[in-house]
Chain A
Amino acid sequence: MAGKAADKGKYKNMTMSSKEYKAFAKSREPGRSVLKNCLRAFVVGGLICVIGQAIQNGYMAWLHLTSTQASGPTVATMIFISVVLTSLGVYDKMAQWAGAGTAVPVTGFANSMCSAALEHRSEGLVLGVGGNMFKLAGSVIVYGAVAAFFVGIAHIILGTGGQ
């Protein structure tokens, strides 16, 4: 900043004000279409949920479970599929295209754990895999548990008895 006056002779003065420049730069930015990203997220996220629904219906028909009982095995199956796809390197390719469509479903949670485990495998099974598995997924568990704790406290204070 101090050299600004001294540099004046050496460099051409900018003909645009910084405001104009910002507008100009923005007009030349590669379009990161929010709409297109949202459409992709909608379609892929929706399809993942439809697959989940199909698996859940399958468990309900096959093992005669209620929808609540079937949700555990359903989530486990979805996570298994996600881990297999992550191991094959397919899930990350899908994620590049679909953005939040693959990140928001529970399969994205499993993907973040599995890819961290695979990435740090070379550092050893304990320090690498064990220590890094929750690198990304940890924040979800921490904030979920803390939020659930405060919601529970609120219910105790309000005397609803958890109903």
Chain B
Amino acid sequence: MQFLWAFLVGGGICVIGQLMFDVVKLSPAHTMSTLVVVGAILDGFNLYEPLIRFAGAGASIPITSFGNALVHGALTELHATGPVGVITGMFKLTSAGISSAIIFSFLAALIVRPKG
């Protein structure tokens, strides 16, 4: 059941992205930035965590969850340490994604022979 919801919600978010490509005619960078901002705003209203509880990876794998994780880290730290927490906590939860993307991409650039 969890897999079905992950499929439907994850696929649905990708369809929203595709509609932004095709109908609104946004570039991929504009689409991704918009989705991240939407995820951030949704978590500001405490709406993204319920979606993750409901759809699991269907909500945590699309890029919207990156905005959600930034806000979630900032707000958790804001709650724990006060206003400075917005700055210090922001990247706490997204570290896994950003660090691994940097490290694996760098290693790939070292190992893989560039084409052309």
User: Is there contact, CB below 8 Å, between B17 and A118?
Assistant: no
Shortest Cβ distance from B12 into A: residue: A42
- Say which residue of A89, A107, A145 sits within 8 Å of B70 (CB atoms): A145
Q: How many residues of A contact B (CB 8 A)?
A: 79
CB distance from A160 to the nearest CB of B (A): 8
Majority SS at the chain B contact face: helix
* Residue numbers in B under 8 Å from A61 (CB-CB): none
* Residue numbers in A under 8 Å from B9 (CB-CB): 49
Q: Is A3 an interface residue (CB 8 A)?
A: no
* Residue numbers in A under 8 Å from B40 (CB-CB): 144, 147-148, 151
**Given the complex of chains A and B, what is the CA–CA distance between A4 and B85 in angstroms?**
65
User: Is there contact, CB below 8 Å, between A41 and B57?
Assistant: no
**Given the complex of chains A and B, what is the CA–CA distance between A100 and B44 in angstroms?**
25
**Given the complex of chains A and B, what is the CA–CA distance between A66 and B66 in angstroms?**
19
**Given the complex of chains A and B, what is the CA–CA distance between A71 and B73 in angstroms?**
14
Within 7-27 of A, Cβ neighbours of B (below 8 Å) are at none
User: Is there contact, CB below 8 Å, between A155 and B11?
Assistant: no
Taking each of B11, B66, B73, B76, which has the highest tally of chain A beta carbons within 10 Å of its own beta carbon?
A: B11
User: Is there contact, CB below 8 Å, between B62 and A104?
Assistant: yes
User: Is there contact, CB below 8 Å, between B36 and A161?
Assistant: no
CB distance from B80 to the nearest CB of A (A): 8
User: Is there contact, CB below 8 Å, between B108 and A56?
Assistant: no
**Given the complex of chains A and B, what is the CA–CA distance between A97 and B94 in angstroms?**
29
- Residues of A whose CB lies within 8 Å of any CB of B are 32, 34, 37-38, 40-50, 52-57, 67, 71-76, 78-80, 83-84, 86-87, 89, 99-101, 103-110, 113-114, 116-119, 121-122, 125, 129, 133, 136-137, 139-145, 147-149, 151-156, 161-163
A-B contact pairs, 15 of them (CB 8 A): A50-B3, A52-B10, A72-B93, A72-B95, A74-B57, A76-B100, A87-B111, A99-B18, A113-B102, A114-B104, A114-B105, A140-B32, A142-B33, A147-B36, A149-B74
Q: 6 smallest A-B Cβ distances: which pairs?
A: A45-B14, A49-B10, A46-B11, A152-B86, A100-B17, A162-B79
- Residues of B whose CB lies within 8 Å of any CB of A are 2-3, 6-15, 17-23, 28-29, 31-33, 35-37, 39-41, 43-44, 56-58, 60-63, 65-67, 70-71, 73-80, 83, 85-87, 90-91, 93, 95-102, 104-112, 114-115
